[in-house]
Copies of this chain bind each other. A is one copy, B any other.
Amino acid sequence: MPALGTLAAALELELKGDPDYEIRSLATLESATAHDLSFVSEKKHLTKLNKTLAGAVILHPDWSDRWPGNALLSEAPYITYAKASVLFDNHPLASGCVDSRAFVADGVVLGTGVTIDAGACVEPGVSLGDRVWIGAGAYIGHDTVIGNDTVVKPGAVICHAVTIGERCMIHPNATIGADGFGFAPGPDGWVKIEQLASVVLGNDVQIGANSTIDRGALEDTVVEDGAIIDNLVQIGHGARVGSRTAIAAQAGISGSTHIGARCIIAGQVGMAGHLTIADDVHIGGQGRVASSVTEAGHYSSGTPIQPLRAWLRSASRFTQLDHMARRIAELEKLAGLDKKGGDSA
């Protein structure tokens, strides 16, 4: 239960109001009560200040006249909210111990303060940096190297010879370094191509729950520093995700596709293999990326939902589109518009 003045000091912000006011937790403007700290991240939410019961609010200094109560003034209120969330964090803490019920091979290299919980399995040749935390039932394959302060949550599986940087978080039931989907079509069926390369995750990488990052066939699959990946995402073998790129849930990146830095890939986007996506590209939800994207910018594909009967007509007409276009061209020819019609668009 910190006092507001203590919070201001911890966040290095100017406080407007009562430094002794007690704050119990963080809350949205809508749900905050008297001892909650809330925040306004965008100007359009300022009107919500009229109704909020929050005991204090994180605000941009320019907006301080809109709120008569306790305020923490921040040039970047949303970042301040993120930093404040750490102060109120309620996640269980690491024990700093290797549980006697964990299955740790002889000769594993452990940094200082490593935690390995019950039922976790750490294979021979593994090296874990300082303060690494391997959750209950997680699996760390042979010769894998994990950097300082990285957390592998319960049930996650890291296969052999994977390299993971510092301060990463691998969420539950994620799978890192399973075999890429590589098979040659033979006369008697598919011939498996052994996946000889591995996975390299940089520093500060997040991998969401139940996501899968496959190991490469001949070249490593790479996720660069600061990239964040949500749940149920598939990253194919030999793909590369650029620094600080964000990939939302259920997106799929096929093998050997290289995504640049600072991209935003929305949920359920699908990318074909062997593509190159430039830096700072944003792809909208369910986007169908079948060819490379060479310029930064926002892209989207797909169609919006319609009431079923209207959609059935649209979808049916979609299959006739080429025919429709030819009919328009013929009409234009008849009307003497021909190519000139194109200029009007």
Oligomer copy total = 3
Decide if B209 touches A175 in the complex (CB within 8 Å): yes
Q: Please determine whether B141 and A181 come into contact, CB atoms closer than 8 angstroms.
A: no
Cβ contacts A309-333/B at 8 Å (1 or 0 each)? 0111111111111111111101110
- Report the minimal beta-carbon distance from A7 to chain B, rounded to whole angstroms: 15
**Other-chain contact of A210, B118, B210, B323 (Cβ < 8 Å):** B210
Task: Name A190's contact: one of B208, B226, B287, B303 (CB within 8 Å).
Answer: B226
In the bound assembly, the distance between CA atoms of A123 and B308 in angstroms comes to 48
Closest to A143 in B: B92
Q: Is the CB of A194 within 8 A of B325?
A: no
Query: Which listed segment binds B: A13-21, A64-72, A152-160?
Result: A152-160
Kindly supply a per-residue 1/0 record for chain A positions 240-267, scoring 1 wherever the CB is within 8 Å of any chain B CB and 0 otherwise: 0001101011101010000000000001
Residues in chain B near residue A244, CB distance under 8 A: 189-190
User: Is A270 close to B, CB under 8 A?
Assistant: yes
Q: A297 contacts B308, CB within 8 Å?
A: yes
Are A315 and B325 closer than 8 Å at their CB atoms? no
Chain B residues with CB under 8 Å of A252's CB are: 232, 249-250, 267-268
Q: How far is the CB of A46 from chain B (nearest CB, A)?
A: 18
A218 to B288, CA, bound (A): 33
Q: A252 → chain B, closest Cβ, in Å?
A: 5
Contacts of A172 in B (CB 8 A): 139, 157, 159, 175, 178
Distance in angstroms between the alpha carbons of A153 and B312 in the assembled complex: 40
Interface residue A306 (Cβ < 8 Å from any Cβ of B): yes
- On whether the beta carbons of A314 and B321 are closer than 8 Å, the reply is yes
Select one of B123, B179, B330 contacting A92, CB under 8 A. B123
Contact A191 B335 (CB under 8 A): no
Q: Which A64-108 residues have a C-beta within 8 angstroms of B?
A: 76, 78-79, 81-83, 85-86, 88-92, 101, 103
- With A and B bound together, what is the CA distance between A243 and B317 in angstroms? 36
Residues of B within 8 A of A341 (CB): 327, 330-331
Which residues of B lie under 8 Å from residue A81 when comparing CB positions? 184, 193
Given the complex, which residues of B lie within 8 Å of A5, measured CB to CB? none
* Docked complex Cα distance between A314 and B291 (Å): 17
Contact check: which of B92, B121, B231, B268 meets A270 at CB < 8 Å? B268
Query: Are B297 and A322 interface neighbours, CB within 8 A?
Result: no
A-B interface, 10 closest residue pairs, ranked by CB to CB distance from nearest: A317-B321, A313-B322, A103-B118, A85-B194, A298-B308, A157-B172, A323-B345, A82-B184, A175-B209, A121-B136
**16 additional contacts, CB 8 Å, given A210-B210, A234-B267, A303-B319?**
A25-B196, A28-B218, A82-B182, A155-B157, A189-B243, A190-B228, A268-B270, A285-B288, A286-B288, A289-B305, A300-B305, A301-B303, A313-B321, A327-B344, A328-B328, A328-B331
Residues of A within 8 A of B (CB): 25-28, 31, 76, 78-79, 81-83, 85-86, 88-92, 101, 103, 117-119, 121, 123, 135-137, 139, 141-142, 153-155, 157, 159-161, 169, 171-175, 178-179, 181-186, 189-196, 204, 206, 208-212, 214, 217-219, 225-226, 228, 230-232, 234, 236, 243-244, 246, 248-250, 252, 254, 267-268, 270, 272, 283-291, 293, 297-308, 310-328, 330-332, 334-335, 337, 341-342, 344-345
